[in-house]
Structure 1
């Protein structure tokens, strides 16, 4: 098809372009191809509708998504479709025949994103600046092609914005009473139900899940507990104890914008263990806990009340390499291997607990830890507090919906950087992220709002 490189703009098309992000290219045909994405600007957990029109009927086309992460790496996903009798393709209803995913996957171009061929491998997509969006460029190409080959020109393009932080959400850095974190507040005066958000032993301060939860109406404090310059002690050691986490919970309670009687905790990986510990051993009373691929016990001696461990912790005690040279953390997280004194006192649990399990988790023995949680609560007569959801093809890094699946990535265990194996299969992991997020929001609604 002969393409003319200038953009065709008509007066009666301008409003439509602003509404759905349509981009049209002039061609020798009566009607040039059109690609739309609606809504063109949305939160990352919102599904969008991608459609191509005015194409030859029953013809092969490729739809491609590309974006640069904050480190400058190019991420890419693509899928092959055939147009219908009317010369249209609709990613919400049509099936991909090849590419980054197969079948009907309305958001496959997003969760299917991977580092482009020739780029850095072993990287994980994590948003650092939540006050800016990801800009994802979606293009429509003729034929079933691989975009990286550069053998097909774009018939139409559209750019979408994917946000973690909704308009009106307020972001505040917290450095108070020794607590290091970031607080996100929804729009309006409040008071809002609160959440304490914790991640794993990678350290630092991850904000994107907290920003998204604030966008859904929760005052969310994401908490750093290791590997941050404003924390005490060596950055590669674990140097905070019960008093630190108690202070963080109480800091959230003391905010005027927060309903002090409706505060929950959410944690993944080691943050899951910390969630259980705070709920059962720190003298606070959360309204609920969300536990994602975590452990019931610490794999190292937990720091004393004053916040400093006699031994410290660098992570070197808890990993080993498999035959492919990948680090597998799972082996040292089986409940049978941990010291009983390091286990969270689950028998003291007094609030609803949601447990999310990726059955292909290679970072943590999630199934076995969930089994132990179930057994302990049953023995304590508290089975009614537990909701458990398991996903067969999900790995360790269960994130908010439509985040790309990461099976392996580099993980810093100072003084070295290692390639860690997290597990999961792309389509099954994506389905788990979408379903578990919906269940998490329902769980929070039930226990923090009603």
Structure 2
């Protein structure tokens, strides 16, 4: 009998970044050690990788969805560990462990090559035998999403509209990032892929914004105008516009929700809309737990407040399956600093997966919550 060649599959081969893929191997000897190795290039050209050790079952097969890794970048049954477990490959830039993986061009995917290697090995530390390989595409943008650069009335951002020229109107999100500045589009593009019009807004550190780039030069009227732009868009439901913020963007989210012009420190009690606060309990950049407690206490409206708290998660709770950066080089006020974000790989990954699902569920439930009020 002719023994079939080893096979490795990844399905679906093309998927959104927040969707799980099933990775399986077969036609291998029973109870034999193998290594699964994933690698891809960031938009900056850096090579990122993760690997894990598995043992085949009596039938000569294994599955990342049901079998446990016994070593490598992670251990245990982690179906998406090869993605959230990625780190910069050795031999890259001088300080590879303090880089942060972020998608700069959402119109192209991350292309991940996944290899099946013979034995329990550490790729890059000697000769390896590749038994099979497969490629997976990881997208932030589903086909048909319309991307438009916004440069009007002083507003700098990128607007994403879900697929379907004659569909809508859609609920919408105003998307705010932190003091790293610039214009980040990957969360907004993913929101649009899930059916939400989304405006990623630049407010600091962008060449098209006014004034010195080393400080925030826009005020409350800027954020109010951006919110109004979304409300007035013909493909947006005007009374279903939400705001999401990360890091300093969280402060701005609360400020906008409490109406512009309210003094810092006395803005919170005027919030009259549902609020979800996501906390990483291992946050090394901000006092997230204390800030969440203070926000709830100041608002005095527990019926509007949903708090998600995750042990072992750090500051940067982003869409699912992105590798966590416990520390990274961060550009703040034109200064390069190393920022401690916190978070441990496995619990942080679990937090990102759970929080993203609950954010989407929360957005769907908001009309019911408001009606009940």
TM-score range, shorter chain: over 0.9
2:76 — aligned with what? 103
1:348 — aligned with what? 270
Q: 1:441 aligns with which of 351, 360, 366?
A: 360
The answer to whether residue 90 in structure 2 is matched with residue 114 in structure 1 is: no
Alpha carbons 1:95, 1:103 under 8 Å: kept:
yes
Deviation at 1:413, TM superposition (A): 2.6
1:209 — aligned with what? 187
Structure 2 stretches lacking a partner, 5+ long: none
Deviation at 1:281, TM superposition (A): 2.2
For residues 167-206 of structure 1, the aligned pairs below 5 Å read 167-188=143-164, 189-206=167-184
Structure 1 residues 126 and 150, CA gap change in structure 2 (3 angstroms): same
The answer to whether residue 310 in structure 2 is matched with residue 370 in structure 1 is: no
Structure 1 residues 261 and 124, CA gap change in structure 2 (3 angstroms): same
1:32 — aligned with what? 5
Q: 1:223 aligns with which of 201, 216, 220?
A: 201
For residues 42-61 of structure 1, the aligned pairs below 5 Å read 42-61=15-34
User: In structure 2, what is the Cα distance between the partners aligned to 1:278 and 1:184?
Assistant: 21
Aligned length in residues: 364
2:225 — aligned with what? 247
Q: 2:253 aligns with which of 268, 272, 275?
A: 275
Deviation at 1:449, TM superposition (A): 8.4
Structure with more relative contact order (C-alpha pairs < 8 Å, separation 6 or more): 2
Q: Considering only CA atoms, is the larger Rg found in Structure 1 or Structure 2? A: 1
User: In structure 1, what is the Cα distance between the partners aligned to 2:266 and 2:154?
Assistant: 24
The alignment partner of 1:212 has SS state of: helix
Deviation at 1:190, TM superposition (A): 1.1
User: In structure 1, what is the Cα distance between the partners aligned to 2:100 and 2:140?
Assistant: 17
2:59 — aligned with what? 86
2:280 — aligned with what? 358
The answer to whether residue 141 in structure 2 is matched with residue 165 in structure 1 is: yes
Deviations along 1:37-70, one digit per CA (max 9) or x if unpaired, are: 0000000000000000000100000001000111
TM-score using structure 1 length: 0.79
Alpha carbons 1:410, 1:417 under 8 Å: kept:
yes
1:236 — aligned with what? 214
Structure 1 stretches lacking a partner, 5+ long: 1-27, 283-304, 306-339
For residues 131-142 of structure 1, the aligned pairs below 5 Å read 131-142=107-118
Structure 1 residues 344 and 445, CA gap change in structure 2 (3 angstroms): farther
The alignment partner of 1:417 has SS state of: strand
Displaced runs of 4 or more, over 4 A = none
User: In structure 2, what is the Cα distance between the partners aligned to 1:190 and 1:438?
Assistant: 22
Deviation at 1:414, TM superposition (A): 4.0
2:341 — aligned with what? 422
